[in-house]
């Protein structure tokens, strides 16, 4: 199928207000940090092939998105 053959008639046109609201960048910005992992966990992640840091991020994102939404309140440090 070519692009010209695709039927877009059921998709509403996007207005200027849509693009004004569409400001969230994706993917979110990354932050560099150091973490300590069990050696066997790190070995397993690396054994899956290139991109183990991306895999760590995906695993953590899946865990985060699987949690119920919490009300936002400032973090407290002891």
- Residue 50 predicted with pLDDT over 90: yes
Q: Which residue has the tokens 């949690």?
A: 67
Residues 28-45, mean pLDDT to the nearest whole number: 95
Domain spans, the chain: 35-64
Q: What is the pTM of this model?
A: 0.56
Residues 63-73, mean pLDDT to the nearest whole number: 83
Tokens of 47: 């054994």
pLDDT digits 0-9 by tens, 6-29: 998 899 888 888 888 787 777 888
Please provide the DSSP assignment of 5-69 as one string.
Answer: G---TTSPPPPHHHHHH----SSPPP--------HHHHHHHHHT-S-HHHHHHHHHHHHHHTSPP
- Residue 69 predicted with pLDDT over 90: no
Question: Mean pLDDT over all residues of the chain?
Answer: 88
């Amino acid at each position: 199928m070519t692009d010209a053959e695709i039927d877009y008639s059921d998709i509403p046109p996007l207005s200027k207000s849509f693009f004004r609201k569409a400001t969230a960048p994706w993917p979110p910005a990354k932050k560099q940090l150091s973490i300590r992992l069990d050696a066997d966990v790190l070995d397993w992640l690396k054994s899956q092939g290139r991109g183990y840091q991306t895999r760590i991020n995906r695993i953590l994102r899946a865990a985060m998105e699987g949690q119920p939404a919490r009300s936002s309140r400032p973090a407290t440090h002891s």
